[in-house]
Amino acid sequence: MVSYAPALIKALLAIVFVLSLGTFGYQIVEGWPFLDSFYMTVITLTTVGFGEVRPLSNEGRIFTIILIFLGVGVVTYAVLTGTRLIIEGQIYAFVTRRRFMKAVQRVRDHFIVCGFGRMGSYICQQLHERGIPFVVVEKDPQIQLKIVDLGYLMYAGDATEEESLIGAGIMNARGLVAVLDSDAENLYAVLSAREIRPDLEIIARAAEESAQKKLLRAGATRVISPYQIGGMRMLMSILKPTVMSFLEVVMDHTQLNVELEEVQVAESSVYCEKRLAETDIRKDLDLIIIAIKKSDGSMVFNPGPDTTIECRDTLIAMGHPEMMVLFEKKAGAQIPDLRLPVRH
């Protein structure tokens, strides 16, 4: 982002210098008090024509002439600098907005993150590190500047309005995350998104327990309560610290070269209608299948070697990232080159 601070500081310092020079100059040359000297300096530089505060000596008149030539130049520079900054700032904002709008129109299979607070910024950071496309919808101009500095795609607007969600590419989006400041805003965002896209995956944050049911009724696929999750993790850390340490290592792929992924088995996959023992998932790819989610929503935990993988099953696997890419391709994942975030 273009920084205008240096030029603005220079202009302000130049004005302060001339005002100080004129004030102290009249005090020294004419022996006037501070207020009279400062007032004379201001009306001289602004050329308002109020007349002299007191009769000037010849030395005072010479000093006034010098101050006029010097001051008019400085004031002109300050005015031109301020005008240029305003015009350039407006042009920069317009060009940036147009550039972002064109980029958003081209993005596909992305996530829409509504809100860029503490949780929203963390989600965006994790998506960015995994190379997953996303668009942030934010209405606060100050926060918009932070998003631009980070280089994230953004749509400047209110996420509770359908126009903003359409502008963020909801028709081509893969999912939406509502993490706005209040439960009411998240509720409106979920309602608007569900009205536009009945098939969209929508994850919403709920601060109050009473808001969870409302968000689900409004159309949220899943509602996350940060306080419940935080309390659960603290309880696990007390009761089962080793288990919690293991989960933290698995969740943070930077600590250990292991990732947890979910992959849906396509009908054309080599794994379709085969038993786990007949596949290369464990033998060659060295992956662990933790669970299998069936198409009817039921979950099979710790499946045995004789468990049959059916078409459209979702396999939850853990292993090395390189092998995970091969696994996704063989399973027939629609987007095999993206690193998916772990879902809780």
Question: What was the pLDDT predicted at 112?
Answer: 96
Question: What was the pLDDT predicted at 96?
Answer: 61
Q: Which residues contact 37 (CB under 8 A, 6 or more apart)?
A: 22, 23, 24, 25, 26, 27, 30
Question: What was the pLDDT predicted at 74?
Answer: 82
pLDDT surpasses 90 at 334: no
Give the global pTM: 0.60
**Distance separating alpha carbons of residues 133 and 264, to the nearest angstrom:** 20
pLDDT surpasses 50 at 81: yes
What domains, with CATH codes, occur in the chain? 5-98 (1.10.287.70), 108-229 (3.40.50.720), 257-331 (3.30.70.1450)
Question: What was the pLDDT predicted at 138?
Answer: 92
Would you call 47 helix, strand, or coil by DSSP? coil
pLDDT surpasses 50 at 73: yes
**Nearest CA-CA partner of 221 in 158, 169, 167, 178:** 178
Q: Which residue has the higher pLDDT, 190 or 53?
A: 190
Helix and strand counts by DSSP (H, E) for the chain: 11, 12
Report the percent of the chain where pLDDT is more than 70: 87
**Distance separating alpha carbons of residues 300 and 304, to the nearest angstrom:** 10
> Distance of CA 280 to CAs 24, 275, 287, 330, Å?
87, 10, 9, 10
Mean pLDDT, residues 46-50: 71
Q: Counting beta carbons within 10 angstroms of the beta carbon of residue 118, is it exposed (0 to 12), middle (13 to 18) or buried (19 or more)?
A: exposed
When the pLDDT of each residue in the chain is averaged and rounded to a whole number, the result is 84
Mean pLDDT, residues 212-230: 90
Would you call 121 helix, strand, or coil by DSSP? helix
**Nearest CA-CA partner of 147 in 131, 166, 134:** 134
